[in-house]
């Protein structure tokens, strides 16, 4: 079961890993966008690290915690990534409203709810060289692992592998959504920064599971 201690550890791991990758994410965005993706995500992550203790104290259930994180991302991240990554957490929170625990199927379902939300507000789908090209393959890989009865850690490991494959795939396609679409065919050959952040996030969920989830 996923409980509050795991969720908090995972969120902190996620924020720290994003901060560690700030320069790399900026560099990736510099090649096909305006070079601010790392700055945007790291800024919100620093605020999250600072505010996590307060969020833990005042928010009881998993849904409310995820909602708070989503609100931070929406209000603190500039550019298009704010509403997009914010929506991922807001929808994941909605899917867990009032829940104190989440099982592994619930974890995959809430990622799916988040991905659908991003797709809706981004008016985007797979194959457009965005964060969704890491998110949807990760979810599919996790669903497959669930179907064959894998445990949490294996489900998350499958998610990491799926996200990584998706990130690699973004190098081969042209951007048709977001700022990178402005450079058309010249976006081919470059890795999408938002997809890279998704891989970092899912890897953080996996890393925290190694420590906090026992099966
Ligand atoms: P901005 O593009 O406003 O500078 P960021 O650089 O922070 O914002 O984020 C860029 C990332 O956002 C892209 O790498 C891509 O993954 C994601 N993105 C952009 N537009 C969309 C969209 N319509 N749907 C899904 N993801 C998108
Ligand atoms: Mg940018």
H helix or E strand, kind and range, residue 83: helix 81-94
Q: What is the pLDDT of residues 84-139, one digit of tens each?
A: 999 999 999 999 999 999 999 999 999 999 999 999 999 999 999 999 999 999 99
* Nearest protein CA to atom 14 of ligand 1, as residue: 194
User: Ligand 1 centre from 144 Cα, in Å?
Assistant: 28
The per-residue pLDDT for 58 is 77
- Which pLDDT score, from 0 to 100, does residue 118 have? 98
Gap between the Cα atoms of 205 and 102, Å rounded? 14
For 199-213, the pLDDT digits (tens) are 999 999 999 999 988
Q: Is 177 in the pocket of ligand 1 (CB under 6 A)?
A: yes
Secondary structure E strands in the chain: none
Question: What pLDDT shows up at residue 80?
Answer: 87
Tell whether ligand 1 has an atom less than 6 A from the beta carbon of residue 90.
no
Q: How many CB atoms lie within 10 A of CB 143?
A: 18
Kindly state if the Cβ of 159 falls inside 6 Å of ligand 1. Answer: no
Specify the residue for token string 């457009």.
Answer: 128
pLDDT digits (tens, 9 = 90+) for 25-78: 999 999 999 999 999 999 999 999 999 998 888 778 999 999 999 999 999 887
Q: Please provide the distance, in angstroms rounded to a whole number, between the alpha carbons at the two ends of the chain.
A: 9
210 Cβ neighbours under 8 A, 6+ residues apart: 153
Predicted pLDDT of residue 134: 98
């Amino acid at each position: 079961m996923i409980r509050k201690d795991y969720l908090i550890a995972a969120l902190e791991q996620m924020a720290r890993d994003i901060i560690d990758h700030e320069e790399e994410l900026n560099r990736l965005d510099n090649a096909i966008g305006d070079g601010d993706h790392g700055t945007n995500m790291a800024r919100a992550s620093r605020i999250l690290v600072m505010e996590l203790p307060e969020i833990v104290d005042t928010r009881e259930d998993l849904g409310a915690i995820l909602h708070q994180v989503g609100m931070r991302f929406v209000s603190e991240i500039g550019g298009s990534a704010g509403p997009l990554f914010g929506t991922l957490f807001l929808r994941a929170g909605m899917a867990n409203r009032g829940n104190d625990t989440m099982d592994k199927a619930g974890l995959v379902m809430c990622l799916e709810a988040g991905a659908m939300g991003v797709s809706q507000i981004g008016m985007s789908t797979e194959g457009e060289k965005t964060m969704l090209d890491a998110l949807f393959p990760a979810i599919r890989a996790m669903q497959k692992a669930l179907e064959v009865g894998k445990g949490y850690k294996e489900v998350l490991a499958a998610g990491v592998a799926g996200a990584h494959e998706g990130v690699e795939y973004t190098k081969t396609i042209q951007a048709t959504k977001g700022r990178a679409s402005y450079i058309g065919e010249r976006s081919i050959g470059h890795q999408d920064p938002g997809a890279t952040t998704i891989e970092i996030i899912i890897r953080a969920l996996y890393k925290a599971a190694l420590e906090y989830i026992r099966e």
